[in-house]
Amino acid sequence: MDTIPLNSLLQNLKSEDGETRDAATQELWRRWFEQKGKMGLQMLQRSQVLQNQGALDEAESVLSQVIRSMPDFAEAWNRRAVVYFMQDRYRKAIADCQQTIALNPFHFGALHGMGLCYLKLSEYRQASQAFRQALALQPHSVENQRMLLECMSHLS
């Protein structure tokens, strides 16, 4: 799938065909994780193992190290945002999501994560904006649709 241009993958996220959408989603995630080659991927995997073990401080430390050495690695910022979210450090998570999006404006995962953070902070307008941006990329995402409806119910 490496031969498929980014624009085609982004267009496939909007396909009526679920298999086409799923394949595009998986390929984008693969590209994002492998953006910095084998070493970057191994560091992300290491942080994920720590995260799965509940060693969130250690996972954060690994990701911060990756970010210092590879500041343009969008997925490292996104993964650290996930760790911050799990630690209830929503402002830090939002900042890392914003950095992810600055580096990769098509990162629907960071937009979704930012929406979840704003939702946790009861900042429903910002949350709904993030979920709308995620839906612009993935209009068939039931989860983002549901989250947007939840935000709208708080705003009405």
The answer to whether residues 24 and 9 touch, using CB atoms and an 8 Å cutoff, is yes
Residue 99 CB-density burial (10 A; 0-12 exposed, 13-18 middle, 19+ buried): buried
**pLDDT tens digits, residue range 51-108?**
999 999 999 999 999 999 999 999 999 999 999 999 999 999 999 999 999 999 999 9
Q: How far apart are CA 93 and CA 111, in angstroms?
A: 11
Q: b vs e for 35-57, b when ≥16 Cβ sit within 10 Å of the residue's Cβ?
A: bbeeebeebbebbbebbeeeebe
* Residue with token string 């993964």: 79
Phi, psi torsion values for 66, nearest 5 degrees: -60, -45
What value does the mean pLDDT of the chain take? Answer: 97
pTM across the whole model: 0.95
Q: Residue 2: its pLDDT value, please? A: 64
Q: How far apart are CA 88 and CA 66, in angstroms?
A: 22
Which of helix, strand or coil describes residue 3?
coil
Q: Residue 98: its pLDDT value, please? A: 98
Q: How far apart are CA 131 and CA 116, in angstroms?
A: 9
Q: How far apart are CA 66 and CA 45, in angstroms?
A: 12
Question: Of 88, 117, 114, 119, nearest to 99 (Cα)?
Answer: 114
